[in-house]
Amino acid sequence: MNNDVLLILLYITVFGLGYAFGRLKTGGAVNPTVPTSFLKNASIRPTSAIVPVHIDETKYVAPIQTAGLVLGESTNSIGKTTTTTDDIQSSVSKLAQLKGK
């Protein structure tokens, strides 16, 4: 019985000494960082180095051959041309101003 009490008191004393030593060493500051394995640290790559890379999957446009096509003899040009008196200069100026051009 006495031996058990002595053992418990010894545990408390050792714990107390350890706590006091720890306080003296760190000056009361607490370090919240949980120690981790150096192996884990070695496997972490810096995030700034990860750049997503995409391949261009847009459809390839092959050259369009029109060499074998010729306008019929009676056809000089195609399209109907009309001329308006509409002046677009004011539209151009106003839009250029809005877009800071």
Partner 1 sequence: MAKGLDVGTSFIVLAQDGANGAVEYKDFRDAFYAIKPTTPVAAKMIEKGLAGKVFIKDEDGTFILLGQDAIEKAVERNDSAKRPMFRGVVSPKEKDAKRVLAFILREVIRRPTSSAEPIVFCIPAQPVDQEDGDFDVGYHEDVVKLVLSEAGYAPRAINEAEALCYSEFENDNYSGIALSFGAGMVNVCVMLNGEPVVTFSTTKSGDWVDRMAAVAVNAPDSVVQAEKEHGDFVVGQPNDNAILGAVSAYYDRLIDYTVKQLIAALHSHKAIPKFSEPLPLVVAGGTSKATGFVDLFTQKLAANEYPEDLWPIKEVRAAGDQLHAVARGCLIAAKIL
The contact set with partner 1 (CB under 8 A) reads: 58-59, 61, 63-66, 68-72, 74-75, 77-92, 94-96, 98-99, 101
Query: The tokens 């120690």 sit on which residue?
Result: 35
CB-nearer residue toward partner 1: 37 or 89: 89
CB-nearer residue toward partner 1: 52 or 79: 79
What is residue 79's three-state secondary structure? Answer: coil
Angle made by CA atoms 79, 84, 85, in degrees to the nearest 5: 160
Angle made by CA atoms 84, 87, 89, in degrees to the nearest 5: 150
CB of 49 to partner 1, least distance (A): 30
CB-nearer residue toward partner 1: 51 or 67: 67
